Each structure stands twice: as structure tokens, then as C-alpha cells.
Structure 1
């Protein structure tokens, strides 16, 4: 990877991660267009580090809002933390179970199979993008609610987030915000909760990808496994750039969500699914 490629991927990731249009799908398509392998360990590490940059953008952007709602009192913190834990727990159950089913059905329980092997499947990505687009459009047509979170809504949002984990193209933010809207939760509250879940989910994903990359490097060049450190340089540059692009994208998302333009993202996802099929 050269600096120009990292710059392009960082801008694509930063802009798309915080919009409900599946950043992973866009980054993978960009990688393919530049002749890069989306399933390679160093590329998945870069993708995760780009996610890290946007995670920090989320924290910076929502910090004041979270302080007013999540940290306004000890009781508010306990109830909101409980919803986050419930949603994250069900995400883990659904996501891990789905990955095991995919491993059994698609790979016949092959010992070397990893879910990242599916990331280069353009047809699967296109279907996931189209599904996310339909979900966004349907949720945008529902009457806007003003409910707060509940255990039931947290369970539903967490379950849908779990469905997103194995599939690049099934936008996590699009699916979780849409599920919140379908539950009658206010748009701002659904947005805040969706990105709070993202902040919790990102660190374990980073740790998993770092471990995966280390094992791949050690197996390929056992005598030079210490070269892993050098792969972090490009990823760190990408992280900073995606942070800046993410801040801009969040302002765009919040404005359109409040202005009732949510459905436009759904239309975009459906169009993007056709583009992915063509590129693939």
C-alpha cells in the first residue's frame, strides 16, 4: 500500500462508516479497484484501524449529548449501561451463532475457514447492501416515535446488530438505527444508542484482527514476526484520516436524519448493491 491508497481508503471509510451505507462494502470495493486483496490480514487490520478512527470521531461528536443523557445521573447511567450491555450480549450470541452456521454450511467446518474469507464475495455483499437499503426505506416510512429505550428494544437492536457482523454490506448503523425507529424510539435517541454500541463493539474487533494478523505474519515468516510493528504505520495514518472524515460524515447523518431524509440512504444502498455486482 502506498500513501495515496491509504488516503483514498481513509476518506471512503470515514465518510461511509458513520453513514448508513456500509463502510466495509465501500472500502472493499475501493480495495478491489486498486488491485488490493480485501481478505489479506494486513488489509483487514487497516479496515479495523479505520474503524478505530471513526470510533474516536463518534466519541468526540456525541460526548456532550451522552453527558446530558447517559451521564446525567447515577440512575440514568445504570439504566443506559444496562441497555448497552443487553444489546451487546445478544449481539455476541446472535453473531457468533450465525458465524458457526456459516462455517458449517459454507465451509463444511473446514478448520482453516475464517469469516473474513467471505469479505471478497461481491454477490453476498450486494445482497446485504440491498437488504440494508430496504430496511432503511421501510423504517423511514413509519411514523416518527418519541419512546425511550427499553429492554425489549435493546434486545431487538442487539439481535439485528448480530446479524450484521458476518456480512459486509449489511450496514450496522443503518440496521440498528432503523430497528430503533421501527420500535418507536426517537430519531436522536436511536442514533445515539446505535453509535454507543459501536464504541463498545470496536475494541474486541480490533483485538481479534491484531491477533489474526500476528498469527498470519508469524506463520508466513517465523523469523521475522517482529515485522508486524511496521504494518501499523500505514494503519495509524489511515486511522487519523478516517477520524477527520468521520466527524464530517456524522454532521451530515444527524442533519438528514432529523430532516426526514433517512430514506435517501436506503435508495443509495440499493443503487450501490447494483454497482457492487457490476464491479465484482
Structure 2
């Protein structure tokens, strides 16, 4: 992995992460085209660090709106924190259960199986992209501009859908969670804020998981430095690219162009299926 590779992947991640087109699918396909192994510990760690850069972009971009809604009072903070916590807990429980089911159903004889091995499966990525595109398109078509309040039930449903995105690269997390919120009648602005709040909570957990995986991959100290430093550079670049992409997402979501992302996912799934 060279600095040129890091630059390419960081720019792709930064722009694609904050759009509901599955940044992971774009980055993984770019890695494959560059001759890199998407399931290798250094690549999955780089991907997580790129997510970290866009996470900071999300925090900076949404800070004002979160301050006005989530942090406007102690009661508001407690209420929204409750919904975020419930959704995250549902994601964690169902995510672990789903990974266990996948392992014991399809990889029962592979004692060393890790869910990251699925990340390099182009056919699986293409199917997930297509499914995400259909979900986004349907949510846009059925969206009636309602403004239902967030409830524990709605937060749990969004958290459950988010869990489905964890093992399947291509099934856009933001696309799936925002679309689910629209299906449930939550306003575009509120579900966008909630979706990215969930991302901010989830990302540190994924980073710790990948650090743990990296430490147990028999990477030498010198090799560790060679992984971490380029990944930090990638994090900075993805932060810059992410900030540039956020206004695009908000504008298209709020002005009724959400379905275009769905069409793109379906089209890109054909490309991934063919090239992969």
C-alpha cells in the first residue's frame, strides 16, 4: 500500500461515505482494481480510519443542528440519547447474532472464519448494492413528507436495519437507516440527523474492533507503523472530502432527489457484478 493508494481511497471514501451509495463498496472495489486485498487487516483498518475522518466531518457539519435539537435542554438530550442508545443496542445484539448465524450456516468448517472475509466478495457486494438501491427508491416513492415523532419502537426498527448493514458491504448504512425512517414517517431532516448520530456512536466501536484484530494479526511493530501513519493521512483526506460531500447529501434529500441515489446504487451494482 503506497501513499498514492491511500490518497485515492481516502478521496473515494470521503465523497461516498456521506452519500447513500455505500462508501465501503466503492473503496473495496477500488482496492481490488489497485491490486489490494480488501479483507487484509491493514486494508480493513485503513477503511475504518477513513470512516473516522468522515465521522469527524459529520460531527462538525451537524453540530449546530444537533445543538439546537439534541442539546437544547437536558430533557431533550435524555430523550434523544435514549433513542440512540436503544437503536445502537439493537444493532449490536442483532449484528452479533447475524454474524454468528452466517458463520455457523455457511462457514461451519472454517474455524478461522472472520466476517471481514465477506468484504472481498464482489458478487455479494453487487447484490447488497442492488438491494440498497431498491430500498432507497421505494422510500423516496412512498415518502409523503410526514413528521412522525421518534419512538422507542421506531428507533429499534432503525437499529435492526442498521445491523443488516454490518456484514454486507454494499448495503449502505446511511441509505438503509434514512430510508427506514422515511418508511416510518419520520421527517427527512430528523431521520438524517438521527442516522448520522448513530454513525458517530457506532464508528468508535468498529475502530476498537479493527485495532484488536490488527494486534492479533501478527503484524510487526515496524509493520504497524507502516499501517498506522498512512491510515492517519487517509483519515485527514477523507475528512476534507467528506465535508465537501455533506451539503450535496442534505440538498438532495431535502429537495426530493433521494431516489437518484437509489438509481445510482442499482447501476453501480451492475458495474460491480461485471467488473468483480
TM bucket by the smaller chain? Answer: over 0.9
The correspondence of residues 82-231 of structure 1 with structure 2, limited to 5 A, is: 82-108=82-108, 110-142=110-142, 143-218=144-219, 224-225=220-221, 227-231=223-227
Q: 3-state SS of the aligned residue for 1:137? A: helix
Q: Give the structure 1 partner of residue 236 of structure 2.
A: 240
Q: Distance in 2 between matches of 1:195 and 1:159?
A: 15
Q: Give the structure 1 partner of residue 66 of structure 2.
A: 66
Q: 3-state SS of the aligned residue for 1:30? A: helix
Q: Distance in 1 between matches of 2:272 and 2:218?
A: 30
Say if 2:44 is the partner of 1:48. no
Say if 2:264 is the partner of 1:268. yes
- Name the CA shift for 1:117/1:11 in 2 (closer, same or farther; >3 Å): same
Q: Deviations over 1:87-128 (max 9, x none)?
A: 000001111110000001111153210000011111111110
Cα deviation for residue 5 of structure 1 reads 1.1
Say if 2:28 is the partner of 1:31. no
Cα deviation for residue 145 of structure 1 reads 1.0
Q: Give the structure 1 partner of residue 22 of structure 2.
A: 22
Q: 3-state SS of the aligned residue for 1:132? A: helix
Stretch deviating more after TM superposition (196-205 or 101-110): 101-110
Q: Runs of 5+ in structure 1 lacking a partner? A: 219-223
Runs of 4+ residues over 4 Å off in structure 1:
none
Say if 2:234 is the partner of 1:251. no
Q: Deviations over 1:50-88 (max 9, x none)?
A: 000000000000000000000000100000000000000
Q: 3-state SS of the aligned residue for 1:216? A: coil
Q: Distance in 1 between matches of 2:4 and 2:149?
A: 44
Q: Deviations over 1:32-53 (max 9, x none)?
A: 1111110110000000000000
Q: Distance in 1 between matches of 2:271 and 2:106?
A: 25
Cα deviation for residue 226 of structure 1 reads 5.5
Q: Distance in 1 between matches of 2:229 and 2:275?
A: 30
Do the aligned residues in 2 keep the contact of 1:214 with 1:225 (CA within 8 Å)?
A: no
- Name the CA shift for 1:109/1:77 in 2 (closer, same or farther; >3 Å): farther
Q: 3-state SS of the aligned residue for 1:185? A: coil
Q: Distance in 1 between matches of 2:211 and 2:90?
A: 24
